[in-house]
Structure 1
Amino acid sequence: MTDEEARAHLALNGRLRVGINMANRLLVSGRDAGGDPAGVSPDVGRAIAQRLGVLVSFVEYPSPGALADGAQENAWDIGNIGADPDRATTICFTAPYAEIEATALVRDRSPLTQAHEIDQAGLTLAAKDRSAYGLWLKRNIRVATLVLVDPDQDPLDVFQARQLDVLTGLRSALLRDCQKVAGSRVLDGTFMTVSQAVGTPLARAAALPWLEAVVADLKATGAVARFIARHGVEGLSVPSS
């Protein structure tokens, strides 16, 4: 597919609307001088718009679940979001441009040492509902009790108020939470890795091969690595092609 053909699929009004999850501080680190979102995810959106030769506009969402809902509302042309099978019913995804470790926080008295050990009978796990790692836990937890926290709430508050056993989340966020919970620690390893990808609604699936090629080029040329370095982000890695 040529750039012109992709433009006809993705930028119908001469502008690329990019859905952005504002809750992920690894991917959105703040705002630029013009008030637009700043960070790795917006940089990826701008790079894709540049390839198309169109302007970019950002459609901001308070959570990944809300962003995913926008696929059915024709609210955005591409959405930068964690790829997940549950979301693939309405969104088609490129290969990931970045990966984020999901792990767990426990109190020091817990016998757990590794994140993959959290699915045990008698344990209660807190996870943000509709997050990529929360969707994974819903599909994969078998014997532990999973407490899904509303996206508008902070899972740390629920973990503390209900004295749950395990707080799940992205490693970078849990390391910050660990400073707020006396006598806590973050487990080694991961229970899954969130694959941050570029998605487009299924109705525009014809443009996916073009998006795949652009994302692969942004990784291969080091552009994504430069975006990460520019914003001083720790906890993001660029997956191999």
Structure 2
Amino acid sequence: MKIAPDVVRAFTPTGKLRASINTGNPILAAADATHGARGVSVDLARGFAQRLGVELELLVFDTAIKSVEAVTQEQADIGFFAIDPKRGEGIHFTAAYVLIEGCYAVRNDSPIQANEQVDRPGTRVVVGKGSAYDLFLTRELKQATILRAPSSQAVVEMFLDQGAEVAAGVKQQLEADVLPLGNLRLLPGRFMVIQQAMGCPRSRGAEAAAALASYVEEMKRSGFVAEALQRHGITGAAVAPAA
């Protein structure tokens, strides 16, 4: 895949490829003391920088909303996000490269037994502010009340502190936070499939967006994404099908 010089310039107005990395989603990336971050999104960013023939600069954030803002405000050239129509107002998304699940957690003695029982009057659902599942549940929940924690990592803590009825989040994050406590459980199934994609500012143009989309498809097809997930010990996530 050869990338035209004008497309390279569109991605690198500063001479480097600035990649916005969100360490708030453990599927995508984790903080790393040496390199700033590590994970499948970092591997994809590094691969794309090599494809462009430029140096990579990581801009590491601890929440999705900060990572999204960096790209929409053109402080970063690419990023890694869940596809959402609201975010799409400022970002060109590729097709998804990874699919993960959004799930609910409740107390063991909660009367709520199924996802369909969450959207009822008097039910308070704690979400990470600006996360993909916050945006989704804001549209979908009609009767329950949404409480927003400052980050995805703070959801369970706020859920407990506020005495709320439901915590929502990425399945792997909830499992990591819930299982050690012993008095919480995940509801069976999922309330959404989160489609993780790459993206760039809309101002970079259609050719840049097409080049990024082509790169993601190649990385899925070649096995690169699957190998990266395995290398970083990520379970419970699936490589997205071809677009």
Q: TM-score range by the shorter chain?
A: over 0.9
Q: Which runs of 5+ in 1 are unaligned?
A: none
Give CA-to-partner distance per residue, 1:147-190, whole Å, 9 cap, x none.
Answer: 12223871212111121111111111111222243322111111
Paired with 2:72 and 2:27, the residues of 1 have a C-alpha distance of 26
Tell me the distance in 2 between the aligned counterparts of 1:118 and 1:193: 17
How do 1:116-131 residues align onto structure 2 when only pairs under 5 Å count? 116-131=116-131
Whether contact under 8 Å (1:79, 1:198) holds in the other structure is yes
Deviates more, 1:87-96 or 1:107-116: 107-116
Partner of 1:166: 166
**Which residue number corresponds to residue 183 of structure 1?**
183
1:108 CA displacement: 1.7
Q: Secondary structure at the match of 1:81?
A: strand
Separation in 2 of the partners of 1:44 and 1:117? 38
Unaligned ranges ≥5, structure 2: none
Q: Which stretch of structure 1 is more off in the superposition, 75-84 or 21-30?
A: 21-30
Instruction: Give 1:132's aligned residue.
Output: 132
Corresponding residue SS for 1:66? helix
Cα distance between partner residues in 1 of 2:237 and 2:87: 22
Deviates more, 1:172-181 or 1:151-160: 151-160
Structural RMSD (CA): 1.9
Alpha-carbon distance change, 30 to 153 in structure 1, aligned in 2, over 3 angstroms: closer
2:35 pairs with 1:11: no
Q: TM-score scaled to structure 2, two decimals?
A: 0.92
Return the offset for 1:80: 1.1
Q: Which residue of 1 aligns with 2:212?
A: 211
- SS of equivalent to 1:3: coil
User: Which one-letter code corresponds to 1:230 in the other structure?
Assistant: R
Q: Which amino acid aligns with 1:166?
A: V
Aligned counterparts of 1:50 and 1:71: Cα–Cα separation in 2: 20
Alignment partner, residue 237 of structure 1: 238
Is 1:53 equivalent to 2:53 in the alignment?
yes
Cα contact 2:127–2:152 (8 A) shared by 1: no
Aligned to 2:102: 102
Maintained 8 Å contact 1:20/1:81:
no
User: 1:42 aligned to 2:33?
Assistant: no
- Structure 2 residue aligned with 1:68: 68
